[in-house]
Chain A
Amino acid sequence: MIEAHALTKRYGERAAVTELSFTVRPGAVTGFLGPNGAGKSTTMRMILGLDAPTSGRVSVNGKRYAQHRAPLHEVGAMLEARAIHTGRSAYNHLLALAATTGIPRRRVDEVIDIVGLREVARKRAGGFSLGMGQRLGIASALLGDPATLVLDEPVNGLDPEGILWIRNLLKDLAAEGRTVLLSSHLMSEMALTAEHLIVIGRGRLMADTSVAEFVRAAAGTSVRVRTDEADQLRQALAGPDVTVRSTEREVLDVTGLSSDRIGRIAADRGIALAELTPQQASLEEAFMEMTRDAVEYQSPAREREGQPA
């Protein structure tokens, strides 16, 4: 469980994170989403006590991170894969971290096997590829068998096989009742991995919601209608909150009406429908919709839709 209350970080005049409050709950993978420079890494560093908040506070499993007597067992972290001395082997890196809380050697061997670095474990980490560096970062996060995991961009540089592996690993960890927070700017990845989403833009909270809810709310849902009598239907559907777009002559994209309602209206007018399909916006579209506002300030339209600021 990670709880942030009015977390704020300023570097001189520039605010990196402003009044950020959220809760990351155990048992689900929570995605921490935002464009580059939104304040994700800063927030994660504050969670781990590496950066001190200017104001506000953040606790992990009920305490400030620095107050934990055995931090590696509380939180496993991967902040930037390259938090490792390039001259040291992966094995010795993990061994040195493990020694701080007396984690035995066999656990070091175990995490090396979990992330599949056995063959290169004795080689200098400076020669590692980006993907191998990510695996080593994940190995150090798992070292203390922690109840909470904080991972900054863990899929960066992984091949498709590696991405699939980490997706399953994180889901399994969450299913065991652990708290998993991972940041990404890859929306499509979040759609497949995360159940819950915390979205920030310009250091402010933009959404704290489930993935499904986020997609529904942020981009709205359109309905695709195919009919020979497109023009008549367009007139019949017209209303104050209804938008109808058309890309092909016989196809309409309707927003502002449910598919049930469109079907009823068409039946009442005796218009035959060849297709009536609710369209889900992808997470990517929903995210771009939301962050466009983060860049251009709040638009009146957004407030009308009842989105959190």
Chain B
Amino acid sequence: MSTTTSTVMAGGAVPPAATVVPRGQVTQLRVLHSEWIKMRSLRSTFYTLIAAVVALIGLGALFSAFTASHWAHMNAHERADFQPGMTSLRGFFLAQLAVGVLGVLMVSGEYATGMIRASLSAVPGRLPVLWAKAALYAAVTWVLMTAGAIVAFLVGQATMSSQHIGTSLSDPGVPRQVMGVGLYLTVVGLLGVAIGALIRNTAGGIASVFGLLLVVPVLAEALPASWADHVNQWLPSNAGQSLISLHREAHTLAPWTGFAVFCLYAVVALAAAAVLLKRRDA
């Protein structure tokens, strides 16, 4: 920087505004644009999203190929349990880690680096920043994960078609299952953003998201059966994943009811984040 610097120095202080700066107001749309610039200008965003898509497609293809090659050796019980759609979409379980982490980082990354003070002094109303982050991340996640799920499904079914055990998008419930992956992951991302804004710390936020999505359902297994049957279906990830299972099992919510419950968790978390964002010192 030395050359540029000394050129500037030599001339003394430069007049601060050679061009007339338009005095625009802060709008939700402009904040959305600002958040878009922030999102696309971080390499970590790009890598994490790629990782999620690779996990979604790669694992689906792997499970499908594995099943196809072992089909001849599988017993009747295993064949009865087999769900071709789910096998090709199984990668969503790993993809949710990447999506959840990036959701938390969307907000906690700004607290960790101090960027949040610049963001909130540019937008002192504060809430537009949260809404923009949530909306933008939801849109990006939905587009990428829905596309990823469709590719994973098609690749998986093509692999399994050698054994004639595949399914197709024209079979009942299958389109809902495939689209469900994109929708589920989108809400996981929203939960991540909300929890990131609530906890304001990357490690704590990530731990909370995975505690909620992965650990709580496992802990709930320890409940007495009479309770577990009632409680477990309402837990966030169980409710949300009802949308992805093809057949409704006992003690699970109907697909769209379950997804609505999952969305409600995200809405409540975002509302709490909004209230605290307004109240707390930055």
Contacts and interface: CB of A to CB of B under 8 A. Distances in A.
Interface stretch (B6-14, B93-101, B148-156, B222-230): B6-14
Given A50-B281, A85-B38, A165-B8, A145 B1 contact: no
A140 B9 CA distance: 19
A100 interface: yes
Contact of A164 (B9, B17, B43, B122): B9
Interface in A187-207: none
Contact of A103 (B8, B22, B42, B121): B22
B21 A85 contact: no
Given A52-B281, A72-B122, A84 B21 contact: no
Given A85-B38, A85-B110, A116-B9, A104 B281 contact: no
A92 B114 CA distance: 16
Contacts of A95: 37, 41
Range of interface residues on chain A? 35 or more
B7 A100 contact: no
B172 interface: no
Interface stretch (A166-174, A249-257, A269-277, A286-294): A166-174
Given A100-B34, A161-B5, A110 B121 contact: no
Given A50-B282, A65-B124, A161-B9, A99 B37 contact: yes
Contact of A117 (B4, B21, B118): B4
Interface residues of B, number: 50
Interface in A56-107: 65-66, 68-73, 75, 77, 79-80, 82-89, 92-93, 95-97, 99-104, 106-107
B242 to A, nearest CB: 37
A120 interface: yes
Interface in A146-168: 161-162, 164-165, 168
B34 A96 contact: yes
Contact of B121 (A70, A79, A162): A79
B110 A73 contact: no
B62 interface: no
A136 to B, nearest CB: 10
B212 interface: no
Interface in A115-139: 115-120, 132
B113 interface: yes
B120 interface: yes
Contacts of A145: 16-17, 21
Contacts of A66: 124-125
Nearest to A103: B21
Q: For B113, B121, B122, which residue has the most chain A Cβ atoms within 10 angstroms? A: B121
A46 B14 CA distance: 30
B19 interface: yes
B34 A83 contact: no
Given A70-B25, A114-B16, A100 B9 contact: no
Nearest to B110: A85
Contacts of B14: 113-114, 169
A80 B116 CA distance: 12
A27 to B, nearest CB: 15
A273 to B, nearest CB: 44
B30 interface: yes
A142 B21 CA distance: 11
Contact of A71 (B19, B44, B121): B121
Given A82-B113, A101-B26, A169 B13 contact: yes
Contacts of B6: 161
A100 B26 CA distance: 6
A97 B35 CA distance: 9
A92 B31 contact: no
B171 to A, nearest CB: 44
Nearest to A111: B16
A83 B124 contact: no
17 contacts: A50-B117, A70-B26, A71-B26, A73-B21, A84-B113, A84-B115, A85-B113, A96-B38, A100-B26, A101-B24, A107-B17, A116-B5, A142-B16, A145-B17, A161-B9, A168-B12, A172-B15
The 3 closest A-B pairs by CB, nearest first: A102-B24, A92-B41, A169-B13
Given A100-B123, A119-B1, 9 more contacts: A50-B117, A79-B117, A96-B34, A97-B118, A104-B21, A118-B1, A161-B6, A165-B9, A165-B13
Interface of A: 45, 48-52, 65-66, 68-73, 75, 77, 79-80, 82-89, 92-93, 95-97, 99-104, 106-107, 110, 113-120, 132, 140, 142, 144-145, 161-162, 164-165, 168-169, 171-173, 176
